[in-house]
Amino acid sequence: MERSRVAPHIREKTTVPVSSVADRFASWERVVRRMVPGWDGDDFYPVSAYDNDLDSRDALDPVISALPEEAGEGPPGHQLARLDARFGAATLPDPELSLRPWVRPTTERPEEELGEWWKRKPVRVPWAD
């Protein structure tokens, strides 16, 4: 599907899905790993990357929900729960949605339908330094 949307010269070079579940997990894991030690000061990380990583997290919910119950409660579900817990520990509640002018989901939904990750903010935001 992804390959059908790009020019032939790009299509030939694309051998794995760009938006695969593995890539979404990797994106979520990378942002959590960056946050846990407190964002390495030498690690450039723009606010747009944070936005993309939260969108990647959104994409994982329907995948886990679509798995058979035993699989959804197995390794993928456990891995996602561990990453979410680490994310929660590295962030603060943001009831005033202070990041919303810069960090917004790509699909429009009412605020109450958004995942918890959209309602939290990093303890230290690297793009403000």
> For the packed helices 75-89 and 47-66, what is the interaxial angle rounded to 10 degrees?
150
Q: What is the pLDDT of residues 65-116, one digit of tens each?
A: 887 766 556 778 888 999 999 999 999 999 999 998 888 888 888 888 899 9
pLDDT in the model for residue 6: 58
Q: What is the pLDDT of residues 41-70, one digit of tens each?
A: 667 788 888 999 999 999 898 888 887 766
Domain map (residue ranges) of the chain: 21-128
d(CA 55, CA 51): 6
pLDDT band of residue 3 (cuts 50, 70, 90) is low
The answer, yes or no, to whether residue 19 has pLDDT greater than 70, is: no
Give the global pTM. 0.79
